[in-house]
Amino acid sequence: MKNLGLGIQELSEFKKRNLIYVDKTKIIDNLISSGKYYFLSRPRRFGKSLLVNTIKEMFKGNKDLFVDTWIYDKWNWEEKNPIIKISFSSLAYKNLGLESALEQYFDEKAFEYNYKYRFATDYSSKFIEIIKFLGEKNSVVILIDEYDKPIIDFLDKELAEIAQKNKEILKNLYSGIKDCDKYIKLLFITGVSKFSRVSIFSELNNLRDITISEQYSQIVGYTEEEIIKNYSIFLKRIEKKFKISSEKLLKTMKLWYNGYSWDGENFVYNPFSILNLFADESFSNYWFKSGTPTFLTKMIKEQNIDIEKYDADLTVYDYAFDSYEIENIDLNILLFQTGYLTIKEKIINPEDFSISYNISYPNKEVRDSFYNFLISEFTEIDKTQFSEIIKDLKESLEKNNIEQFIIILKSLYANIPFEIFMKNAESYYHTIIYLILKLLGVKIFVEKHTNKGRIDAIIETKKYIFIIEFKMGSINNALKQLKEKKYYEQYLKDERTIYNVGIAFDEKERNIKEYQIRTVEEL
């Protein structure tokens, strides 16, 4: 029985340790035979490094590593190419600075090939000179993994100057590659974020971006067919543990970990979460817990972003994916590139064939984890305490104890430190309420549109329906809107009891000032 390759990025380790390798070599072969200069953006822990190292082993001619793969009897293993592989996660740029770290790498590469520089004086010229030296006999394969790490590690406002400086260093690094065309067999660059070609790859204008290409939408990540084919034993173990059918298990896995797409047609599972699921035999938020950059939630709060739009399908035009800049970051695109949002549908305008995409959360793991992470940023209440609050809120609703529900909310607001309250108080309160309602685990509609307006929130339990309106200031405004708009009308045929709930906030007190509950008859 083969083992799980959790966290393993080197293909050589798969054979040595008898690990399961999900064969991507057919797609890789098509990539190599179809072009020369490529860029691929994918979220962290999605298999980019393993992909890069698989390409490396193919060009090194290590045939023994590819037994039982599609490529085994189709590749020319005798032709071996020199390889320059730069993994930015391994460079000591935080300690040395990016320029010095790159110079150190190229000096080591020159020493490896017993080469002495003729003209080079800095990191960029050393890179070009090594390419030309190695490419004289046989063309060079250049593999650059996590190219953007020296930038995204410094996206916090306080470190933005370093990010900007590193961007210029990277731009200079790639500036001479185009002139080395005759020495290059393949250039393959991966990263999480895609900065616009003008900012980093301005001279490398022959670089093909395959990030949202249907042809390569499954080059990393697992399809359902790949999971069934390669991990059948692990699937059976979980079926046995939870005493469920294979259909039920696949449906649950799809809810938790599927949903990632870069073309709106082909959807894949997060490999990191799937492998952790098989290792632990338990459903949990594995990918999210592996490292979420705090600057994302800080940006959402600082820019007063309406997070409710991410639950619906948010429309983004294709040109937006090429407009990512340090100086003016589009948070929607950043969330897409980092894996918190994904493409759900590709829309082609039948009149002019322009393309747009609907993007949203990929799955339950990302959505629920993101809510929890945001509520922590907005309230600074620790996770253990907040879990208890959510539990108590849910119980109060199920028991139709709306008074207790409000008291718990007031207690929550009272625990929020004074310093972190936002200037736009109404938006701030509304965001916290929204996140809480989403985390309750009951049937909830937030910002629901009707023919008469937009309902702030609707909560449905087995016995009750709560229609809620939030207002800053007077409770009368909330009740007036509930009465005039008659939001309850759509539920009049429902056998459950309907309650109209008005909640008013006081900006000075930074808390709920008053509330009133009315049945349909009392309203």
Give the pLDDT of residue 293: 66
Whether 423 has a pLDDT exceeding 60, the answer reads no
Domain boundaries, the chain: 11-216, 222-370, 380-519
Q: Return phi, psi of residue 279, to 5°.
A: -70, -45
512: left (phi over 0), alpha (psi -120 to 50) or beta: beta
Structure tokens at 377: 């940023």
Checking if the pLDDT of 197 tops 60, the result is no
Condensed to tens digits (0 to 9), the pLDDT of residues 344-356 reads 999 999 999 999 9
Axis crossing angle, helix 402-414 with helix 383-398, rounded to the nearest 10: 160
Cα gap 325→501, rounded to integer Å = 44
Classify residue 121 as exposed, middle or buried by CB count within 10 Å of its CB (0-12, 13-18, 19+). Answer: exposed
What are the respective helix, strand and coil percentages of the chain, to the nearest 5? 45, 20, 35
The count of residues in the chain is 523
- pLDDT tens-digit readout, 200-238: 887 787 899 999 999 999 999 999 999 999 999 999 999
The strands making up 355-360's β-sheet, listed across from edge to edge, are: 314-317, 355-360, 342-348
pLDDT tens, residue by residue, 499-514: 999 988 887 778 888 9
Among candidate residues 429, 340, 391, the one with its CA nearest the CA of residue 46: 340
DSSP, residue by residue, 427-445: HHHHHHHHHHHHHS-SEEE
Average pLDDT of the segment spanning 179-187: 96
517 by Cβ neighbours in 10 Å (0-12 / 13-18 / 19+) ranks as: middle
DSSP state of 438: H
Q: What is the pLDDT of residue 46?
A: 95
Structure tokens at 11: 């293909």
Give me the pLDDT at residue 212, please: 93
CATH classification code of 11-216: 3.40.50
Across 269-420, the runs of DSSP E, i.e. the strands, are 314-317, 342-348, 355-360
Please write down the HEC assignment for all residues of 246-273: HHHHHHHHHHHHCCECCCCCCCEECHHH
- pLDDT tens readout for residues 322-378: 766 666 677 888 889 889 999 999 999 999 999 999 999 999 999 988 888 888 777
Name which of 152, 436, 421 is nearest 307 in CA terms.
436
426 pLDDT more than 90: no
